[in-house]
Structure 1
Amino acid sequence: MIDSNDMDWRSDGQFETETESYIDDIVKAAYDAPYPTSELTRTFSGLVRWAIELGLPIDREVVLSESILSAFIASGLPQYTDAGRANARSLLRAMRIALDGTVRPEPLSSSDPSAPYSNLNVRRLRSWADAQSTEEYRRDARSILGLGIGAGLTAGEIADLPGDAVRVGRTGVRVIVASGRLRTVQVRREWEEPLAAQAKVRTAADYFIRPKRTATSRNFLSNLVERSAGPAYRPQSQRMRATWIVQHLGAGTPMNVLMDAAGVQSLEAFMRFMRFVPDVPVVEARRLLRGDW
């Protein structure tokens, strides 16, 4: 398993800048596509950000492949009408045709954001949370870790989460994701306490993180983390989600259960994380394959 150190750490803000630059490069290269640049940018940006959240390689030959386009049109545009989805499909196919034969920009590097945190680095992130300047900020920081590492939520889902989305019951703590990829996520046991504590002081009128703000944005979480106090080693949303995914893959959580909890519709979303899953000892592998459960 890769154990990233301070030298290869990138914040959400840094990765966001690289993402926007990559999108701009692809759109410029597709200048022959018969659509306004603003439409190309908006639609391709939606595709790239959807692919990033699923953990797919950000390379134009991957994200513009027919299978990925079909998955994006089916699940990545929940607010679109059927006509809007058809137009998005036509636009992205036109981009693919326009890009054929052009020089390929370097794929967006994703090795750092997709690498899960080691146990040591999770402890470092807990230290960051504990170092915040007020009790409310400490609760928010611990909740960010709980929602990311304990429930696999994306940056946007964490930012948008309402105050009553975390439910505490006899079977543990659950997070209700009520927008975008609708689902209920059972929180991992070790992250239940900070989320339960936060839920006690939140109402439906609040946001779960920074409750009294009046709006949210795509960069809310990265801006909050970058402006926070404490150690320089701080959470990155994609790596938190990667940690959650790899922990479940390593624990043998059934794929259909994990897909539902992650809000994905294809096993392809997990393939890039398989290299981080610890090897199963030979004796255990034979026992499992034999069916001695």
Structure 2
Amino acid sequence: MREDSAGAYRPKLPADDWAAIEEYVRSVIVRVEPEVVYSARELYPAVTQLVHFTRTSSAPVEDDVVFDPVHIGRFINHHLASYNRASRNTIRARLRRVSETLLGDGAAGKFKALGKADASRPYVRAELAVLDAWAWQQRTMERRTSAGALLALGLGAGLTGAEIIAARTSDITDDGTSVTVHGAASRTVPLLLEWTTRMRERTDFIGSDGWVFRAEQRGGNTNLITDFVSRKGPTVQLQARRMRATWLAHHLEAGTPLKRLLRVAGLRSAEALDRVLPFVEE
């Protein structure tokens, strides 16, 4: 892009907002354009949106913050949630090249690492079907409703393993649509609609005050879930953190506002979502 056309660029932002970031945005384009395949005309919109997002998030407008791969991933998955997949992929590709140009090989390595599977990998649809069938196939009403409640609290409300073990039926609303969590991360979590029937089955079976998971437990056994699934467990390994990751990914894909998601998840910072972001479908 010629200097006069670059200087003429004006985004659809309030004048004050653009004035606050204009100098930095233009400096990024000047430094990066000679090193990448994209023109300034192609780079300006993507860089401007990212810088504006960074500033309104009260983060420092500095290269190593603005173009950090994790920060870019958060921007793409949250701020651009309403964009279609093709548009988000285009913006991501341009920002990735800018990031790699400004931050070097370290940034390139982080982008690759974001694609690797880890213990926070959400369950895919086929795995969820196996878990659901396993719960229904339990031979006693206690085990069947307990297994259903385990899935409802993990996949339907995103509770941690300790929170699942500590849940009482008195913490569940009568219609099974939400659960109150006590402790350091106290909150009320609405259940995803598809899991409310399983929750009502369990509360109807146990009554007004009992353990939601494993009626015979005494409380405080951190291995309770592992013990339960070690005998006649599903063919897919059942883990509380993968259930929670599945619930988080669902909300990210559904476009749940970030502040609300952090609140109902009992999280203090969006950084806690970074392990899940690579698995969020676009």
Q: Normalised by the size of structure 1, how large is the TM-score?
A: 0.54
Are the structure 2 counterparts of residues 133 and 230 from structure 1 closer, same or farther at C-alpha, using a change threshold of 3 Å? farther
Residue 202 of structure 2 is aligned to residue 215 of structure 1 = no
Q: What is the correspondence of 1:29-40 to structure 2 with a 5 Å cutoff? A: none
CA deviations over 1:35-87 (Å, ceiling 9, x no partner): xxxxxxxxxxxxxxxxxxxxxxxxxxxxxxxxxxxxxxxxxxxxxxxxxxxxx
Deviation at 1:179, TM superposition (A): 2.2
* Poorly superposed stretches of 4+, deviation over 3 Å: none
User: CA contact under 8 A between 2:165 and 2:219: conserved in structure 1?
Assistant: no
Q: How does 1:44-193 map to 2 (within 5 A)?
A: 111-169=117-175, 173-193=177-197
Return the structure number with greater helix share: 2
1:147-167 alpha-carbon deviations (Å, 9 max, x no partner): 101100011111111121111
CA contact (8 A) 1:113 1:236 kept: no
- Matched AA of 2:131: L
The answer to which of 230-239 and 123-132 deviates more is 230-239
Tell me the distance in 2 between the aligned counterparts of 1:197 and 1:266: 34
Match of 2:267 among 231, 256, 264: 264
* Preserved contact between residue 164 and residue 202 of structure 1 (Cα < 8 Å): no
Which entry has the higher C-alpha Rg, 1 or 2? 2
Give the 3-state SS of the residue equivalent to 1:265 in structure 2.
coil
Task: For residue 205 of structure 1, report the CA deviation from its aligned partner.
Answer: 4.1
Equivalent residue in structure 2 for 1:249, among 237, 248, 252? 252
CA distance in 1, matches of 2:234, 2:117: 23
Distance, in Å, in 2 between the alignment partners of 1:213 and 1:231 is: 21
Identity %: 35
Distance change >3 Å, CA 217–CA 123, structure 1 → 2 = same
- In the alignment, the residues of structure 1 paired with residue 149 and residue 234 of structure 2 have an alpha-carbon distance, to the nearest angstrom, of 17
Give secondary structure in 2 for the equivalent of 1:201. Answer: helix
Gaps of 5+ in 2: 1-115
How far does the alpha carbon of each residue in 1:250-282 deviate from its partner, in whole angstroms, 9 at most, with x for none? 010000110011001101011121111122xxx
Using the alignment, how far apart are the partners of 1:269 and 1:154 within structure 2? 13
Native 8 Å contact 1:146 1:194 kept in 2: yes
Aligned partner of 1:210: which letter?
A: R
The 1-side partners of 2:129 and 2:215 are apart by 26
| Matched-pair contact (CA < 8 Å) for 1:163–1:204 | yes
Post-superposition offset of 1:237: 0.8
Aligned-partner Cα distance in 2 for 1:263–1:182:
7
1:112 to 1:128, Cα distance in 2 relative to 1, 3 A: farther
Higher relative contact order (CA 8 A, sep 6+): 1
Q: CA RMSD in A?
A: 1.8
Q: 1:231 to 1:174 in 2, by over 3 A?
A: closer
